[in-house]
Structures are given as structure tokens and as C-alpha cells.
Structure 1
Amino acid sequence: MKNRWLLNLVMLAVVGGLVAFLYLRPQVKIDAPTEHAVSQLKLADFNAIKVEFPALKATAFEKVDGFWRMTAPYKARADQLSVQRILSIIAATSVEKFSANDLAKYGLNNPELKVQLTSSNGVEEFIFGTHNPVTDEQYLAYKDAVYLIQAGYSEAASVQPIELVDKLPLGPEELKQISGFNFSHLEQWEEIGLNVDLEAGNWTVNTPKAKPTQNELNEWLDFSWKQSPAKSVELYVPDRKTVYPSFELKLKDGKKIRFDKIQESPELLLARPDEGILYHFNNDVGFTMLNPPINLK
């Protein structure tokens, strides 16, 4: 029995010594890599963007009334998030910072692309060079330094221009002004000449046969027109020789926006002639857009 107690005391002393060693030993300090901010610029300062490629037309944007519009290679409402991704280069950081004395070493003498950001203070230029084969990061020149940054910044700026067009059929200000729809020229609604109107937050329908509920129409508007972007878009030139079924969306300021229904199945092709854009919607979303829940009895 005495031997067992001695063994327990020895083991307790060993454990206590180990704990004391781990607690009292000097802590090894591991320094984190130093991160270099590429710039100290602010997103809100810029009102124009230009992306230049060696063998392609430049893509350009301009901020109008607080929203970005594409000005080249064609004119269209821009996808706001896509433009923000291009602008995010100003917030890039890098653990590598080199002198800009030898641009050829980093492929910056023949850059992959250039991003020019314009503000009231002038133009800031970011130049993208070759990729590092080990890390797949990319060399970037800004002012008098070269940085090694994530490749996603140049990928955001290299997207095909048509993919940078806003995929919602209505602009941000138009979405706030919706006051109704005139569906009377669509085949399924010609007989009753369907109009649904929104005034002071209340929906009305122009036929006594309809028994709509406010919540259903509010959900329809939010889902179909405010929260369901097209899956893709393309440029559209109206054919004056062809007449398509159409409908009008009404705005509070009295403006009416016409949409042409080019095709309904297997996907909805909806054209907006005034902006020259054709929207591709999945069939289920497209059907809902053109068929508000008015509950005909």
C-alpha cells in the first residue's frame, strides 16, 4: 500500500512540473506577414471607370444620379454590384511590395489590362501584369510600386461587357415608382382588358370578376419584378416589320414603359425597346411576371 502511495505522489509531481513548465516557459512570438494597402482611395470619390484591354474595345462606366451606367462599348444600365467589384481594387492588400523600376520583370510593360478610375482629383491608374506561377496571384502596378494580389480583381474587370449590364428590367429609380400594369394587349388578358393599379399602397383591378388580396399582389410585385433578375441579357434592335404582344408598366410620374413579349416558352424573352435590351427569364418566373394573382371568379 505504501509503495502505491509513493507512486501516486511521484506521478502527481511529474504532472505538476509539466504544467508549470508549459505555463511558465517563454512564449515564442510569431510575427504575421506585413500587409501593404495598395491605396488609400475611397469608393465614393469616383464618378467614371474605364477598363482597357490590349486587343479589345474598352469598357467604360459613368455614375449618373448616384447609379452606374455603361457608356462603352454600348450604352446601358450597369449591374451595380459588378461595378463595385471592379472598384474594389482600391481596397486590395498585398504581403509583397516591389519597386516599379523594372516593369518588364512583372509583365507590366505589356499589361493584361488597365483600370482607370476618375474623380474630381484626377485619374488613378491600376495596371495588371503577369500571374505568379506558384501562387497564381497577379502583379499589379500602382503609382511607384508593384504588388502581388489575388487574381480575382482582374477577373472582375475582364467580364464580357454584356454580363455587366443590369439584369433587372427596371432601373433603381423606376422600381420605386411602379404604379400599375396594363396587360390588356397580351392574349390571355385581352378579353377583360386587364389593368392592375397601385395607388397609395392599395391595389385595384379593373374587373369585378377579380377578387385579389393585397398581400398576394405585393408578393407578386416583389418576387416577379423587384427580386428576380433575368438569367441573361442581350442587345435588342426592334424589328419594325414585326408586331409582338406587348404590355405597359406605369410609373407614378406618368411615364409608361413598354415591353415586347418575343417568346413565352421554353423561356420568356422580354424586350425593352427604349433601352435596347432583351431579357431571358426562366419559364416559371416569366409566367408569374405576366400573370398577376387577381383570383378571377
Structure 2
Amino acid sequence: MKNSFLLKKHYVNLALIIIVLALVAVVWLKPGQPTAAKIFAALTADQVQNIELQVSNKESVQIKKQNGVWQITAPITIPANRFRIEKILSITQANSEKHYAANDLDLTQFELMPPQARLILNEHVIEFGGIAELGQQRYVKIENEILLITDDYFPLISSGLAGLVDSQAIPETQKLLNIQMPKFTISQTTKGAWAISPANQQHTSDSLQAWITQWQQARAVFAERFVNLDTNNAPIVILHFADKSQLQYHLITSNGETALYRADVGIKYHFSYEIFQSIANEPALPAAVNTATP
């Protein structure tokens, strides 16, 4: 009798263990919930060589990878901001838990007819619709599917041309030879040092190198698209490069602005006050000169 009782108790305990394990499996595996899957099964960022962005009421932008460097090729030719391009391309790794057959739905309900923007990676087209009611997710359409993805990409895409240009005053790929300012010119000598003209003995090669470095590292806070901006006789800066090309900027200081304007492409680069002052004015004299008594 006692053995029978113990056997029943053993079965009860075993049954309880099975129930607990089943509950754990339900919680852990969450059956019935959708599994996140990449929106592109095979496409990777490294495979993309051509990008096109089409945004409502803005210029279409075409970007190509040339010798490993992203270059905007239309509507203007100018280096692209590689950090923002890399962020856009990370959409190739985006996941979606929601998949709907587009043929079964009214696309206008998702703001996909017409789409708010279109991103083309090589031959792959992604159309962007509206925001979902719950959560910061956006509807996108790829081929015949509507998916929900995080809204990390549309703000960059919708920024248009000005939001995609490289913010550096001097392109990374260019070797600078001289900068011609309104009142002076700084050039690299045959020995690699920097010299100022008209000559000023108070400047050293190091102080001039520091000024050149400020130009090479100067990044705009943001850029704007302006075609035929009235420069109001703004002073001109000309940068000459080793490949015999040049860049021409207007120094814009009206209305409290601190900007460089490239009239050839219609882009105005806005800099912080400190950075603009460091590149728009004559290099600072060495500390020993500044502190010397007359």
C-alpha cells in the first residue's frame, strides 16, 4: 500500500515537472508570434554600387560608388557623405515581423499610392509609406510585399540632396596645394612646408600647417541647396589641388551667417562660428609672437 502511494506521488511529481517545462516552452518560444526576417534575403551593403533617391517635391539624387568612394552624380557632381550613405545602406540588414501581400490591400491606406519616397539600390526598389499607428515603424513596399520596418532610414532619405553631400570643406580624396584667400595665399613649397604670401616672418611653418589642418578637418554643421544665391559681392576663396582642379567658395557673413557657398553646385555649407573664424581669417601667430613685448 505504501509503495502504491509513493508510486502515485512519483507520477504526480513527474506530471507537474512536465507541465512546468511546457509552460517554460510556451513563454520562451512564444508560439504563434511572427519571427523577424530580413527584408532582403541576399542583398548586402557591399553589393550596392548605385543608389537613387526619389522624394516627393525634391530633386532626385543619383549616387555611385567610384573607386571605393561614394559620389553624387546627379543633379550635381559632388562627394557624398559616406557616413549617411552607410546608414542608408544598413537598410539591407533591416528586419520585419509584418509581411502583407500588396495585391490584397489598398495602398493609399499605407500612404504608398503614391509613395512618400523611393529608394533604389542597384535594381532593388523600396517604396516608403506612412508611419504605423503603434510604434515608430514605417510601411515600406518591396516588389509585391508591404512590410513594417523601424523608421531609421526615411529621415535621411527625405533630407534630399543637401542632407547627403559631404560636409567637409576639402574632399578627403584631394591633395591640397594652396589656398588663395582675399588678402593672402598659403602654398605648399617643393619641400612640403607651407609658406604665406605676402611674406610674414612672424608666421612659422608649424603655424601655417595648423591653419591648413583646420581647413582639412573643417566640417559643416549642415548644408542647404541654393541655386543662384545672391552672394552680394562676398569675398572669394580658391583652393587648388594636385590634380589641377580647384574649388571656389564665397565667404558668407551677412545676417550673422558663417557659411561657405559653392556657386558651381548651389550648396551652402553652414559652419559653427568658431570653425568659420579659424578658416576665414589669417592664421594665428605663434604664442611666442603673441606674448612678446613690443
Normalising by structure 2, we get a TM-score of 0.71
Q: Which residue of 2 aligns with 1:164?
A: 164
Look up the SS of the partner of 2:106 in the other structure.
helix
Structure 1: gaps (5+ residues): 1-24, 187-192
Specify which of 76, 83, 86 is matched with residue 85 of structure 2: 83
Alignment of 1:79-158 (within 5 A): 79-104=81-106, 107=110, 108-118=112-122, 123-158=123-158
Alignment of 1:38-77 (within 5 A): 38-39=39-40, 40-53=42-55, 55-63=56-64, 65=66, 66-69=69-72, 71-72=74-75, 76-77=78-79
* More displaced 10-residue stretch of structure 1: 27-36 or 39-48: 27-36
Paired with 1:131 and 1:259, the residues of 2 have a C-alpha distance of: 40
- Preserved CA contact (<8 Å) 1:267 1:282: no
Paired with 2:193 and 2:79, the residues of 1 have a C-alpha distance of: 30
- Preserved CA contact (<8 Å) 1:212 1:293: no
Alignment of 1:234-245 (within 5 A): 234-237=225-228, 243-245=233-235
Q: Which residue of 1 aligns with 2:24?
A: 28
Structure 2: gaps (5+ residues): 1-19
Q: Which residue of 1 aligns with 2:10?
A: none
Look up the SS of the partner of 2:265 in the other structure.
coil
Give 1:91 deviation, angstroms: 1.7
Look up the SS of the partner of 2:219 in the other structure.
coil
* More displaced 10-residue stretch of structure 1: 57-66 or 195-204: 195-204
Tell me: CA distance 1:202–1:45, structure 2 relative to 1, closer, same or farther (3 Å): same
Paired with 1:204 and 1:103, the residues of 2 have a C-alpha distance of: 68
Give 1:162 deviation, angstroms: 2.5
- The code of the aligned residue for 1:148 comes to L
* More displaced 10-residue stretch of structure 1: 231-240 or 81-90: 231-240
Tell me: CA distance 1:277–1:92, structure 2 relative to 1, closer, same or farther (3 Å): same
Number of equivalenced pairs: 256
Give 1:36 deviation, angstroms: 0.3
Give 1:79 deviation, angstroms: 2.5
Tell me: CA distance 1:58–1:102, structure 2 relative to 1, closer, same or farther (3 Å): farther
Specify which of 280, 283, 294 is matched with residue 292 of structure 1: 283
Paired with 1:58 and 1:258, the residues of 2 have a C-alpha distance of: 24
- Preserved CA contact (<8 Å) 1:93 1:149: yes
Q: CA offsets per residue over residues 134-165 of structure 1, 9 Å max, x none?
A: 22422222234332111222222212433333
Tell me: CA distance 1:239–1:221, structure 2 relative to 1, closer, same or farther (3 Å): same
- The code of the aligned residue for 2:72 comes to R
Paired with 1:94 and 1:64, the residues of 2 have a C-alpha distance of: 28
Alignment of 1:189-204 (within 5 A): 193-197=184-188, 201-204=192-195
Paired with 1:179 and 1:86, the residues of 2 have a C-alpha distance of: 34
Give 1:292 deviation, angstroms: 2.0
Q: Which residue of 2 aligns with 1:260?
A: 250
Q: CA offsets per residue over residues 2-41 of structure 1, 9 Å max, x none?
A: xxxxxxxxxxxxxxxxxxxxxxx85934127622010021
Percent identity, aligned pairs only, is: 20
- Preserved CA contact (<8 Å) 1:180 1:198: no
- RMSD of aligned alpha carbons: 3.3
Paired with 2:135 and 2:143, the residues of 1 have a C-alpha distance of: 24
Paired with 1:97 and 1:158, the residues of 2 have a C-alpha distance of: 24
Tell me: CA distance 1:244–1:157, structure 2 relative to 1, closer, same or farther (3 Å): closer
Paired with 1:255 and 1:294, the residues of 2 have a C-alpha distance of: 30
Paired with 2:285 and 2:82, the residues of 1 have a C-alpha distance of: 33
Tell me: CA distance 1:57–1:250, structure 2 relative to 1, closer, same or farther (3 Å): closer
- Preserved CA contact (<8 Å) 2:37 2:96: yes
Tell me: CA distance 1:237–1:64, structure 2 relative to 1, closer, same or farther (3 Å): farther
Give 1:64 deviation, angstroms: 5.3
Give 1:217 deviation, angstroms: 4.0
Tell me: CA distance 1:266–1:154, structure 2 relative to 1, closer, same or farther (3 Å): closer
Whether 1:211 aligns to 2:203 is: yes
- The code of the aligned residue for 1:180 comes to N
Give 1:71 deviation, angstroms: 1.1
- Preserved CA contact (<8 Å) 1:269 1:279: yes
